[in-house]
Amino acid sequence: MMSPASVPEVLQSLSAQFAALLALLLIVAGLHKLIWSDRSRRAIHEFAGVHRSWAAPAAVAISLTELLAGVLLWLPAWRAMGAAVAAMIWCGYLLLILRSIANGRRDVDCGCSFGRNHGPLGRFQAGRNAVLSIMAASIAVISIRAGAVPIAVSQVPAGFALLALYCALDQVMTLHAPRAGELL
């Protein structure tokens, strides 16, 4: 007979599942920025305001930081550090998104989407980065307080499924509703 799980055990398990999702998201994002380097450099220049001559090295540094945070999230002994780095990454993106919105630059590509299309910056992008920041910070706190457990083999496909849902939602949010009388 199975004994009921304690609150710390449940938190550890949930933390591991969300760590798998965030790790996969960061690894895919880091690789995406390296593969689509032209888009990354353009986004870093136009969205973040980095001078063109520094955009390429900044893109590589950001990509490597995302990859590092993703790898650290997989490792229980380093999960708190990886989660803290991830939270800082997403907080930084959130601040840049809010700055762009405040400056009336909603149409700039933040480079935050895996798809070719990007919608205007708004509540969705700000909310997405706030939620990701909170998730990462929560994983860091849980890892420090309750301890981190290895990501179970069964949590890997679940992480990929959550990542697929994340990507689908991201692309759905770039769609524009047709106006009355327009054909789809």
Percentage of residues in the chain having pLDDT higher than 70: 92
Instruction: Report the pLDDT value the prediction gives residue 2, as an integer from 0 to 100.
Output: 54
Q: At how many degrees (to 10) do helices 123-145 and 79-102 cross? A: 160
7-65, pLDDT tens digit by residue? 888 889 999 999 999 999 999 999 999 999 999 999 999 999 999 999 999 999 999 99
The arithmetic mean of pLDDT across residues 139-145, rounded, is: 95
- Contact partners, residue 108, CB within 8 Å, separation at least 6: 43, 46, 47, 100, 121
CA–CA separation, 166 vs 164, rounded Å?
5
Q: Work out the mean pLDDT of the chain and round it to a whole number.
A: 90
Distances (CA, A) of 164 to 28, 76, 125: 11, 24, 17
Instruction: Report the pLDDT value the prediction gives residue 51, as an integer from 0 to 100.
Output: 96
The arithmetic mean of pLDDT across residues 165-175, rounded, is: 86
CA–CA separation, 168 vs 17, rounded Å?
19
3-state secondary structure of 146: coil
**Which amino acid makes up residue 148?**
A
**Which residue in 124, 125, 123 sits closest to 110, CA to CA?**
125
CA–CA separation, 82 vs 26, rounded Å?
10
The structural domains of the chain, with segments of one domain joined by +, span 8-172
Model confidence, pTM: 0.89
Ranges 25-29, 61-65, 93-97, 147-151: which has the least confidence: 147-151
